[in-house]
Amino acid sequence: MKNNQSERKKSSMPLRITRKSFLGVLSLIFQEFMESLFTKFKLKKPKEEEVLSIVRLKAEPNNPNSVLKIIDNYAYKKTFLMNIGEEKGLLLENAINESAANNILELGVYLGYSTIRILKNLNDNSKLTSIESNNRFAEIASENINIAGLSNKHKLIIGKSNEVIPNLSEKYDFIFIDHWKDLYLKDLKTLEENDLIEDKAWIFADNVILFNLEDYLDYVRLSPKYTSKFIPAKREYSKSHPDGVEISIFNNEI
Ligand SMILES: C[S@@+](CC[C@H](N)C(=O)[O-])C[C@H]1O[C@@H](n2cnc3c(N)ncnc32)[C@H](O)[C@@H]1O
């Protein structure tokens, strides 16, 4: 008897895990390990607290670019921060503008960096809801967003995506997925099952190469419900490690 599973068509990955992308992940693990040692032995404040202190001290109030620049400078010069970064951040901004989205959902906020990039491109009729599970990151993000002068079109929900999503009641026409990588596919399916995705909505997923998100990519590339394209880019704050984003348009008619 034939095994349907083994016969299942796979999407052709744009890039297989290479030595470079493996080293990209390894270097992040090393930096995170060193950071946790330094903070554990109280040799320094957690990096997220340091970033907030610098933003408080140096950012020009109501100037989103000044907040973004401080966060980017810290990540380039001090230590890695898991923001979407400059190159992919601009891809995100372009997608927000091209889609003309009105009701946006963000999964994974961290310091509010991508949130600020989204919010600074919204028109008068659009709004953003973000979900972040870590209390302290949510507080730091709120303050950064407030300093950037962008709080008025933003709702930040603190909680785990799998607990928050089933309680959402509006449909979204743009969904930015950038939380823990093993949740991308599960949460996308939960959004579908709860009828929260508008027809022709854009689903923008970060880090699909860095973390080799093959199951997610297989799903959006092979399902007739999505028309999907990959945009290659470098990992945030790196000139050499490969990464990329996947943009998938949802077709509710199918
Ligand atoms: C990669 S960071 C987000 C970066 C942010 N989008 C940016 O580009 O500035 C991932 C964030 O997702 C959060 N997170 C992880 N699992 C989550 C979940 N199940 N629900 C909500 N947030 C989650 C983490 O606490 C972390 O702050």
Digit-coded pLDDT (tens) for 200-245? 999 999 999 888 899 999 999 999 999 999 999 999 999 888 999 9
Query: Could you tell me if the CB of 131 is within 6 A of ligand 1?
Result: yes
Sheet of strand 127-132, all strands in order from the earlier edge strand to the far edge: 154-158, 127-132, 103-107, 172-177, 197-205, 242-250, 226-234
pLDDT score recorded for residue 211: 84
Residue 12 DSSP code: P
- For residue 53, being part of any structural domain is answered with yes
**Token pair belonging to 29:** 């693990």
- For residue 3, being part of any structural domain is answered with no
pLDDT score recorded for residue 43: 74
Digit-coded pLDDT (tens) for 48-91? 999 999 999 999 999 999 999 999 999 999 999 999 999 999 99
- For residue 198, being part of any structural domain is answered with yes
Q: Where do we find the tokens 């310091």?
A: 111
Ligand 1 centre distance from Cα of residue 152 (Å):
21
100 touches 170 (CB < 8 A): no
Residue, of 34 and 172, whose pLDDT is higher: 172
- Mean pLDDT computed over 17-24: 68
pLDDT score recorded for residue 9: 52
Mean pLDDT, the chain, as a whole number?
91
pLDDT score recorded for residue 108: 98
Rounded to two decimals, what is the model's pTM? 0.90
Task: Check pLDDT > 50 for residue 118.
Answer: yes
Domain with 31 in it: 17-250
**Domain count of the fold of the chain:** 1
pLDDT score recorded for residue 17: 56
CATH number, domain of 203, equals: 3.40.50.150
- For residue 12, being part of any structural domain is answered with no
**Token pair belonging to 23:** 């080293």
Closest ligand 1 atom to the C-alpha of 236? 8
- List, in sequence order, the alpha helices (H) in 8-109: 19-40, 47-58, 64-77, 85-99
Closest ligand 1 atom to the C-alpha of 164? 20
Query: Could you tell me if the CB of 84 is within 6 A of ligand 1?
Result: yes
72 touches 140 (CB < 8 A): no
- For residue 9, being part of any structural domain is answered with no
- For residue 222, being part of any structural domain is answered with yes
Atom 4, ligand 1: which residue's CA is nearest? 83
pLDDT band at 92 (very low <50, low <70, confident <90, very high): very high
pLDDT score recorded for residue 2: 39
52, 91, 134: residue to mutate for ligand 1 pocket, most atoms within 8 A of CB? 134
Range from 32-36, 153-157, 188-192 carrying the lowest mean pLDDT? 32-36
- For residue 7, being part of any structural domain is answered with no
Residue, of 44 and 152, whose pLDDT is higher: 152
The DSSP line for 179-209 is: S-GGGHHHHHHHHHHTT-EEEEEEEEE--TT
Query: Could you tell me if the CB of 137 is within 6 A of ligand 1?
Result: yes
Ligand 1 centre distance from Cα of residue 36 (Å):
18
Q: How many Cβ atoms are within 10 Å of 119's Cβ, its own excluded? A: 25
- For residue 62, being part of any structural domain is answered with yes
Ligand 1 centre distance from Cα of residue 105 (Å):
13
